[in-house]
Structure 1
């Protein structure tokens, strides 16, 4: 089954083709992502209306480009998967409208995909031997969650952020120190030049039981440190390093607790912050110490992309699941409400 995946939840237009007859990494026939960073940089953040209009301009050309790279014609598509939420409602509607129209014209099934399930399953795309049960850390600009995965579609929330997501905290902290948009990657790059221990910030909510997160207080600590400093480039790098170390340590501590709570030694990490080098190294060390394993998607598949949507959709389409013909989206969507995929649920 050749599945076309469409991702338009925020400020990246992603398209991919996944072929279930070629399992593992070879199944990804082609994928392309167009980023709107340059469009939104002038405003210091995503402008929803501009994002929607840019998806309208870019999506169909990107579909044609991806099919050409995959070496298949539109008529060879057997199913269409699209992000239906969570995300910006206007941006989601662009992808859903195009996906449903293509599915109707081709007379093939379509499936609405949960954006965060796409992220969660991305590591499985490249590692076909990776199967539930495992614990997943979903860590991005909009989400920071720990989820116990018993099967594909059978998820239990263990903990989540009570305020800012980790990626959002990166972006906001970078902005308050005057770094250009998008701030998170800029801050992580700057932290590479910082001295470890020059600034020591708290590891929020690690001094008490539980698996929830909170990063707003950490952001305030950085603001106060920055205001009271000489604001030199050296100090900026040191503060960036202190902030990144605090976030990475906090995520790592909570991940280890989650593995203990779930009685599991397999950790899957997904989402944009999952590309952070220091986080990857820290979680690798924890997995080695426990005699377990941690799996990440390649950095290109950590950020929003069509490949994860095509893959997640293919798993559900293969199981006989599909969505009705209505063009509908869910800007807010609880992942626990998703149906399980029978082949992975031991049903």
Structure 2
């Protein structure tokens, strides 16, 4: 079963072919980063128009890469939401028109479900059930995952998502758009104790998160540095702020994921989405353990190891491979097919068995 996947939710056009027997056989991606950098952020109309220009060439490139033609496609999967309305419509229109012309089923896929399942594209795959940390763009959510379509929302960010906080903080530091990845690299050279920022909701006793206050703390620090230096942030100071900000975000995500593992009893954690490429997050989570509180009359509890899975770096950002794979899984599970409409706002928790 050969499934074509189309991703166009925001500023990347992704197309891929997934074979149910051979795995991923082709994957092509075009990023609009350079185009939007001129404006300091994504311009929805420009994004939509660029998706339209890229979809056919990328699809034909995938077919050539896989040594296949249109007639070999058994189904077409596309991102139905969430995302930018116009961008989603570009992918939906192409996917539905192609599926109709080929007489094949079309499979709408939730963008975050694609991210959530993307670690299954790796050679070392997690097994159900697991806790999933989704840190993709405007979303930071912790889910209990028991199978395809069986997702329970455990907690999420109540304001800025982690990825948004990274990019907004980078902008405060004068880094070019999108600055989150550059902030992470500069943090490598930062001194660990030069700045101290708050860990919002770290001890809230639930799995909710907040990052807007952390961003405000960075703004206060930047304004103080500007006042002392006449509007200039020295290079080392900038790196120190990056380090302190990143440490704060990772500390919060680590604490919340540890609590989710304790609450569910699961010992497998999946991290997916763009922030999943962050080196500090990967390093910290690779050593993650949980300790079950000891009860009266029992021996002191010992730390328990946690199996942590990340998608390959190529599949951390938006891509067609995760959509093709999620579509193939839904087709295998005989999920509902069809749907030209798009859902710019679409909670992942609405996708149930």
Number of aligned pairs?
335
Find the counterpart in structure 2 of residue 310 from structure 1: 324
Find the counterpart in structure 1 of residue 340 from structure 2: 327
The alpha-carbon distance between structure 1 residues 240 and 128, as it changes in their structure 2 partners (threshold 3 A), is closer
Comparing 283-292 with 184-193, greater Cα deviation is found at 283-292
Return the offset for 1:65.
Answer: 0.7
Distance 2:34 2:109 in 1: 27
Gap regions ≥5 residues in structure 2: 291-302
Return the offset for 1:322.
Answer: 3.8
Return the offset for 1:291.
Answer: 1.7
Q: Higher Cα Rg: structure 1 or 2?
A: 2
Find the counterpart in structure 1 of residue 20 from structure 2: 20
| Counterpart pick for 2:276 among 274, 277, 285 | 274
Find the counterpart in structure 2 of residue 242 from structure 1: 244
Find the counterpart in structure 1 of residue 206 from structure 2: 210
Deviation by residue 1:188-226 (Cα, 9 ceiling, x = unmatched): 111111111211111110122111000000000001111
Q: Give secondary structure in 2 for the equivalent of 1:257.
A: helix
RMSD over aligned Cα, in angstroms? 1.2
Distance 2:307 2:289 in 1: 5
Contact 2:112–2:134 (Cα < 8 Å) also in 1: yes
TM-score computed with the length of structure 1 as normaliser:
0.94
Find the counterpart in structure 2 of residue 66 from structure 1: 62
Return the offset for 1:71.
Answer: 1.2
Distance 2:141 2:162 in 1: 10
Distance 1:336 1:262 in 2: 17
Say whether 1:105 aligns with 2:101.
Answer: yes
Deviation by residue 1:140-176 (Cα, 9 ceiling, x = unmatched): 2210000011211011111000000000000000001
Q: Give secondary structure in 1 for the equivalent of 2:154.
A: strand
Distance 1:100 1:148 in 2: 32
Q: Give secondary structure in 1 for the equivalent of 2:286.
A: helix
Contact 2:81–2:346 (Cα < 8 Å) also in 1: yes
Find the counterpart in structure 2 of residue 6 from structure 1: 6
Say whether 1:190 aligns with 2:165.
Answer: no
TM-score computed with the length of structure 2 as normaliser:
0.93
Distance 2:244 2:237 in 1: 10
Deviation by residue 1:282-303 (Cα, 9 ceiling, x = unmatched): 1111149522200000111000
Contact 1:136–1:268 (Cα < 8 Å) also in 2: yes
Return the offset for 1:74.
Answer: 1.1
Contact 1:133–1:148 (Cα < 8 Å) also in 2: yes
Contact 1:147–1:159 (Cα < 8 Å) also in 2: yes
Comparing 289-298 with 303-312, greater Cα deviation is found at 289-298
Return the offset for 1:339.
Answer: 3.6
Return the offset for 1:323.
Answer: 2.2
Gap regions ≥5 residues in structure 1: 341-347
Return the offset for 1:7.
Answer: 0.1
Find the counterpart in structure 2 of residue 179 from structure 1: 175
